[in-house]
């Protein structure tokens, strides 16, 4: 694979050994190019402006500007910003939830296997959300009720969706893939992709991860309910 087509990556972590280790590991893959490393969120934001990476591996807890604020700033550019993959020590971490809500596309534990890391970076770089339902939905379910939007605000956000789009959003929050949603609704995958795109656009969301967060925070899906499997 040429350097031009390789996935450009920045690794941000306040621990030198950690960021160097991840950078060297990612550098073993022919389709990855690590273009820089950052010791905190502020440096990550600055480097992203200079180097235009496709993916940022972002530690969530860093001194100064943490990974949440850095994610918020980088994801604010919406379509043009890099995809953010959060690195964390604990899966049920409120900081990780805040980073997902701020625009991160997924998260990994720092003890992740090399193959899992490589796969995750490729998924994120392709524009998909890294949704491992058993972990991500458990995390979101744990903290969503703490951040529940006022009822009027939640209803107003969802009112822009058609009944079918609302149904698709609920199925996304259940952890279903596009093929699974298509089978459930007896429609084509292309139709599902169209509905998903419209849901994201109408709600101003970046990808499926933020769609899951929105579904919980608006009360469309309630943790522990029959609709949440």
pLDDT at residue 134, as a whole number: 56
Query: Helix 178-185 vs helix 163-173: angle between axes, to the nearest 10 degrees?
Result: 130
Domains of the chain: 7-130 (3.40.50.2300), 149-217 (1.10.10.10)
- pLDDT at position 226 over 50: no
Average pLDDT of the chain?
Answer: 85
Q: What is the pLDDT of residue 189?
A: 93
pLDDT digits (tens, 9 = 90+) for 4-44: 689 999 999 999 999 999 999 999 999 999 999 999 999 99
Query: Which residues have a Cβ under 8 Å from the Cβ of 63 and sit 6 or more positions away?
Result: 14, 40
Share of the chain above pLDDT 90, in %: 50
Distance CA 11, CA 195 (A): 34
pLDDT tens digits for range 88-125: 887 666 787 888 888 888 888 888 899 999 999 998 89
Q: Hey, what are 127's tokens?
A: 């524009």
- Please state, in angstroms and rounded to a whole number, the distance separating the CA atoms of residues 17 and 127: 29
């Amino acid at each position: 694979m040429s350097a031009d087509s390789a996935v450009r990556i920045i690794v941000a972590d306040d621990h030198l050994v950690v960021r160097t280790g991840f950078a060297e590991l990612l550098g073993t893959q022919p389709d990855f190019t690590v273009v820089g490393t950052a010791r905190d969120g502020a440096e990550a934001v600055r480097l992203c402006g200079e180097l235009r990476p496709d993916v940022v591996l972002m530690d969530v807890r860093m001194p100064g500007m943490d990974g949440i604020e850095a994610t918020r700033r980088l994801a604010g550019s919406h379509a043009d910003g890099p995809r953010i993959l959060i690195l964390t020590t604990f899966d049920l971490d409120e900081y990780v939830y805040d980073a997902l809500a701020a625009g991160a596309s997924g998260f990994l534990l720092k003890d992740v296997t090399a193959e899992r890391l490589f796969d995750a970076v490729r998924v994120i770089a392709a524009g998909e959300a890294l949704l491992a339902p058993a972990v991500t939905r458990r995390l979101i379910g744990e903290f969503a009720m703490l951040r529940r939007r006022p009822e009027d605000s939640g209803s107003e956000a969802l009112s822009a969706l058609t009944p079918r789009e609302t149904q698709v959003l609920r199925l996304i929050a259940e952890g279903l893939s596009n093929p699974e949603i298509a089978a459930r609704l007896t429609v084509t995958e292309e139709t599902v992709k169209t509905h998903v795109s419209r849901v994201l656009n109408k709600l101003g969301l970046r990808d499926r991860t933020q769609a899951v967060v929105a579904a919980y925070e608006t009360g469309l899906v309630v943790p522990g309910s029959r609709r949440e499997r």
